[in-house]
Amino acid sequence: MEDEQDGEWKTARNSWKRKEKPVEESEIQEGGKKKMHTSADGAEAFELEEATIGKLTSLLAVKRLGKWTVNCSQPVSQMQSWGVIKGIHTSVNVEDVKASADCGSGKLLSVTRLPWYNGGIKEESSAVKLCFAGTQCPSHIYMGFTRYAVFHFNAPPRRCYRCKRLGHLAVNCNSPLRCLVCSGPHTKDECTAEPGQEKCANCHQTHIASSKECPAIRNAAAIQKLQHSGVGFEAAKHKVMKAQTELATKAPFMC
């Protein structure tokens, strides 16, 4: 919750807002096309819609915004892309894959073998994740005389290992510790919950917070998939939530 007395800033994707006093335009180093917004309570926000490479460099160098010290960074999603190739035997070292891969004009940054779970036991799979420089993966790569199709890597939604909530990582989390199993204020190893007493920290249903059946995780994954196709976050969220509402409306009545 915002503290109006302290005038704290709230980050909402690429917008900054402060309740106490609007930011003067002279305090902002422009880096692209800008829109100013004023809400009913007098709060102002600015949004940078586009920027050239030169202006982006200037933006990343900004260290102060008004009287606040800031740290500007470019999202990794704007600098790298990830794909998957399949059918790479587990005996093949990933470093050998990186050394022998012919990506054409693309630049391969790293190679990681993806795991799979066999009866709850984590094992290596024949699928390999490739990280490329730039925002577009190549459609294929060659290793020797073999052509491998590159499929888009659908990353799981971010989930904090501290509070178990979605959308952020533990390194930036100040929320209380929550149990993966029951959402209690303790670690999983300290949990005494019996089967059937699970409680998800996100949807509060009877399953652990990392369950693939969790509707919150499924919705987050669906939103991410739409974002990858070019849909903005708010539009993607609205579309997913609307689909959920329509599905619930069409569901048969259960006694």
Q: If you ran DSSP here, which 8-state letter would residue 123 be given?
A: E
| Euclidean distance between CA atoms 140 and 150, whole angstroms | 5
Which residue type does 125 have? S
Q: What is the mean pLDDT of residues 154-159?
A: 85
Tens digits of residue pLDDT in 53-75: 567 777 788 888 788 887 777 76
Whether 221 contacts 1, CB under 8 Å:
no
Q: Which residue has the tokens 């704290």?
A: 8
Tens digits of residue pLDDT in 221-234: 998 888 877 788 88
Task: Look at residues 28, 36, 9 and name the one whose alpha carbon lies nearest to residue 20.
Answer: 9
Q: What is the pLDDT of residue 55?
A: 73
Whether 237 contacts 223, CB under 8 Å:
yes
Residue 187's alpha-carbon distances to 71, 184, 198, 201, in angstroms, are 32, 8, 14, 13
Chain center to CA of 84: 18
Tens digits of residue pLDDT in 167-210: 888 888 889 999 999 999 999 999 999 999 999 999 999 999 98
Most confident of 22-36, 165-179, 229-243: 165-179
Instruction: Say if residue 102's pLDDT is above 50.
Output: yes
Q: What is the pLDDT of residue 71?
A: 79
Whether 88 contacts 127, CB under 8 Å:
yes
